Structure 1
Amino acid sequence: MRLGIIGSGFGVQGHLAAALRMPSLDFVAVADSGSGRARKKLPELVQYVESWEQLPGLNLDLISVATPPVEQRSIVLALMQRSVNVLCEKPFGSGFDDARSMEQAAAFANKLGVVAFQYRYEKGLQELRDSYQNGKIGGVRSISCSWLTNGRRDPSSLWSWRNDKDQGGGVIGAFLSHIVDLLQWITGQNVSSVEFANTEILYPNRPLFDGTLVPVTAEDRVETRLILGAGIPADCEVSNCHTHSIGMQLIIRGEKGNLVYTHSPPFCPEDQFVHFQPKDGEEQTLFDGANDGRPPGDTRIASLQELYGDIRTRTVGGEAPDLPTFKTGLVVRAVLAAIAEAAVQERNVSV
């Protein structure tokens, strides 16, 4: 499978790193959205092209779009017109209308559209899902999920598009989009409503390189309660400006006990666990990432490799039931829109 990548941030740090580990991928070239920043980050022998518009002419089977959300729609629509399969980074455009346009374009072109919800391929989360679906805890009563890091806690951290709501910045798109996808994938139920949502900008201004302060318009923290289809409440809290970097925790509470997933910094395989806390008896370890067998380092890279593997399977006519398609992304985008509305209107919002 011949692959091209658009994006100088996670496109290089994540997607390129994953692709270079995969002999089954014929990696071809990297472009960016016109800034030229990708060229400076590429290892030797990796081809850079001046414009992403050149990539479709390289006879590629797949192009990964890892640009800021505000740029994703125009790029994806252009690629679909050139009849190219696309992997688009979350949150899948800057809003629901963007997502709908991209999903419709993929359907019209009859091409594969995938959203990079690679956490589905984390071994610990797969164990959590299997345990849940096999009835380990019986009927579910409630779910809670937190994802708390401090990567942007320093007020001197430079302003970027991630601090600009109009460009698709904020932790709702960056982090909560993954949580929404995971909740729906694990339980097999879509979010039906948002009971409440609170957002917070913890640092109202951030500096540019020259020290000029720029207003922050995208949220640093969000807290929300989602209601899954069967009436199950899921309380979520996300921040990248927390006092401590705690990581991700997902707890599913059931009639027979609790399933607890944790992944703590620096987010390597050995930092990931799944435990079962029975109503009666001692806690059991269902998954210990130290025994995962995956390469050391950031587990997102190995998960992206698994995602690319499923894309390759689909492009040759095979089955890949966990693959998060553009339809998946559209459903998640509808939930994110309801969360944003609930935060502004301060009321329950149906999805």
Structure 2
Amino acid sequence: MGDTVRIGIIGTGFARTTQIPAFLACEGARVVAIASGHRENAARVAQTFNIPHVADDWRELVARDDLDLVSIVTPPATHMEMALAALDAGKAVLCEKPMAMNADETRRMVERAERTGAFALIDHELRFLNGRRRMRELVQSGEIGRVTHIKIFFRNATRARPDRPWNWWSDAKQGGGVLGAIGSHAVDSVRWLLGTEVEEVCCSLATHIKERRDAQTGAMRPVTSDDEALLLLRLAKTDLVEDATGLISLSVVEAGRQDHFTEIFGTRGALRIEERGELWRAEPSGDRWEMVPVEPTDLAPGLLDNGWSRGFTAFAREIVKALREGRRSVEGAATFADGHRVQLVLDAARRAHESGCWTSVNGS
């Protein structure tokens, strides 16, 4: 690969707000093309960021011979088809989370990536926050002893207004819902931070706003996706994880200050990481958190200051560097195999919700 990594983007949502500005801040990266099912959206983004090529068919973008990386930033129902096509076209692939609709789809994606030997990653950008990396180092080194519990809490009110229009996020058939959107990050965090797997899960999903108005027709449409997800976890035993449990609480319809944190409790203390990577530690019998010094993660120009933006700023830089050097992986990044393991947990969580029972995370 040459000195410049040529990037094609499919999708105009998170790509516009985060991915494109972060890639453009990377040395040796150029966004060459953007595609959207609504050409006017792609054209608007292309004009904003001076992207030369626009398409309303993602297949046209994947077929281009002037692209090195295809970033898939679309609803989950489209991920498998797009990823398989991009891999078959010889492109490196970055796929948004959740990886796909179910583990049957993610398994096919893993198999295709392995067969082609391609660069294929999932966008779990929170792994690249300096604070989270430091947290993982402390856990893996045994700094807080054997892990007994992990707690992940995410709350905002982005979908609390009932007059917010219906879109794909309201549709379970397109992969909408907080379990996939945020739960995928939470499960990945459990696996990556602790170095273990989820063995069993109990889950309750809720849809608190049950109808939204279609912006095109004006008619009310049912919301079939979840806006709240509560999960209990039982974790596999390792040298550092024993009889450990997990709690994940996610909501996008709760009023009040937005909050997002992860806490890990061990036999010799506890760690807490906040939204932008602020890291805290507590002693075993302590009654307060003390800050752990961590260098803040960079933020690309023009991005909102949050964990996702700072994480992707760092992740984009590592992606571009790896491709320029001809590498097929990024150290510490979530692979397609990681995405598949996360999907197995999400599938088990949905089965647990339907049955009302603890459910094993089966599959390989």
Question: Under a length normalisation based on structure 1, what TM-score does the superposition of the two structures give?
Answer: 0.91
Instruction: Mark the runs of 5 or more structure 1 residues left unpaired by the alignment.
Output: 264-268
Q: Secondary structure at the match of 1:232?
A: strand
Greater relative CO, 1 or 2 (CA 8 Å, sep 6+):
2
Q: Does 2:51 align with 1:41?
A: no
Q: Go from structure 1 to structure 2 and tell me whether the alpha carbon gap of 1:293 and 1:95 turns closer, same or farther (over 3 Å shift).
A: closer
In 1, the alpha carbon distance for the partners of 2:293 and 2:279 equals: 5
Q: Does 2:300 align with 1:307?
A: no
Deviation digits for residues 295-318 of structure 1 (CA, Å, limit 9, x no counterpart): 372342332232233334444137
Question: Which residue does the alignment assign to 1:16?
Answer: 20
In 2, the alpha carbon distance for the partners of 1:318 and 1:199 equals: 37
In 2, the alpha carbon distance for the partners of 1:285 and 1:25 equals: 36
Q: Does 2:215 align with 1:203?
A: no
* Paired residue type of 1:18: A
Moved more, 332-341 or 43-52: 43-52
In 1, the alpha carbon distance for the partners of 2:134 and 2:332 equals: 14
Question: Which residue does the alignment assign to 1:113?
Answer: 120
Q: Secondary structure at the match of 2:81?
A: helix
Question: Which residue does the alignment assign to 2:110?
Answer: 103
Contact 1:177 1:336 (C-alpha < 8 Å) held by counterparts: yes
Instruction: Mark the runs of 5 or more structure 2 residues left unpaired by the alignment.
Output: 238-242
Identity, in percent, stands at: 26
In 2, the alpha carbon distance for the partners of 1:10 and 1:70 equals: 16
Q: Secondary structure at the match of 1:49?
A: strand
In 1, the alpha carbon distance for the partners of 2:185 and 2:158 equals: 18
Question: Which residue does the alignment assign to 1:333?
Answer: 343
Contact 1:17 1:301 (C-alpha < 8 Å) held by counterparts: no
Q: Give the aligned CA root-mean-square deviation in angstroms.
A: 1.9
Choose which of 254, 271, 278 in structure 2 pairs with 1:242.
Answer: 254
Alignment coverage as a number of residue pairs: 341
**1:44 CA displacement:** 4.8
Q: Secondary structure at the match of 2:181?
A: helix
Question: Which residue does the alignment assign to 1:292?
Answer: 296
Q: Does 2:282 align with 1:277?
A: yes
Q: Does 2:150 align with 1:143?
A: yes
Q: Secondary structure at the match of 2:54?
A: coil
Deviation digits for residues 95-141 of structure 1 (CA, Å, limit 9, x no counterpart): 11111111111122221111111110112211221221222211111
Q: Go from structure 1 to structure 2 and tell me whether the alpha carbon gap of 1:94 and 1:262 turns closer, same or farther (over 3 Å shift).
A: same
Choose which of 4, 11, 15 in structure 1 pairs with 2:8.
Answer: 4
Q: Secondary structure at the match of 1:57?
A: coil
Q: Go from structure 1 to structure 2 and tell me whether the alpha carbon gap of 1:161 and 1:150 turns closer, same or farther (over 3 Å shift).
A: same
The residue correspondences of 1:246-257 to structure 2 (distance < 5 A) are 246-257=258-269
In 2, the alpha carbon distance for the partners of 1:312 and 1:41 equals: 21
In 2, the alpha carbon distance for the partners of 1:344 and 1:128 equals: 34
**1:257 CA displacement:** 1.8
Contact 2:183 2:250 (C-alpha < 8 Å) held by counterparts: yes
Deviation digits for residues 55-97 of structure 1 (CA, Å, limit 9, x no counterpart): 2323211110101111111111111221111101000111111
Point out 4+ residue stretches in structure 1 off by more than 6 angstroms: none
Deviation digits for residues 266-314 of structure 1 (CA, Å, limit 9, x no counterpart): xxx5xx42111102456421146xx516237234233223223333444
In 1, the alpha carbon distance for the partners of 2:321 and 2:44 equals: 33
Moved more, 275-284 or 62-71: 275-284
Contact 1:18 1:302 (C-alpha < 8 Å) held by counterparts: no
Q: Does 2:58 align with 1:52?
A: yes
Question: Which residue does the alignment assign to 2:273?
Answer: 261
In 1, the alpha carbon distance for the partners of 2:111 and 2:256 equals: 41
In 1, the alpha carbon distance for the partners of 2:172 and 2:329 equals: 37
**1:258 CA displacement:** 1.5
In 1, the alpha carbon distance for the partners of 2:278 and 2:219 equals: 43
**1:168 CA displacement:** 0.3
Question: Which residue does the alignment assign to 1:266?
Answer: none
In 1, the alpha carbon distance for the partners of 2:154 and 2:147 equals: 21
* Paired residue type of 1:23: E
In 2, the alpha carbon distance for the partners of 1:23 and 1:247 equals: 33
Contact 1:311 1:323 (C-alpha < 8 Å) held by counterparts: no
In 2, the alpha carbon distance for the partners of 1:293 and 1:345 equals: 42
In 1, the alpha carbon distance for the partners of 2:224 and 2:68 equals: 37
The residue correspondences of 1:119-158 to structure 2 (distance < 5 A) are 119-158=126-165
Q: Does 2:358 align with 1:348?
A: yes
Contact 1:144 1:250 (C-alpha < 8 Å) held by counterparts: yes
Moved more, 32-41 or 73-82: 32-41
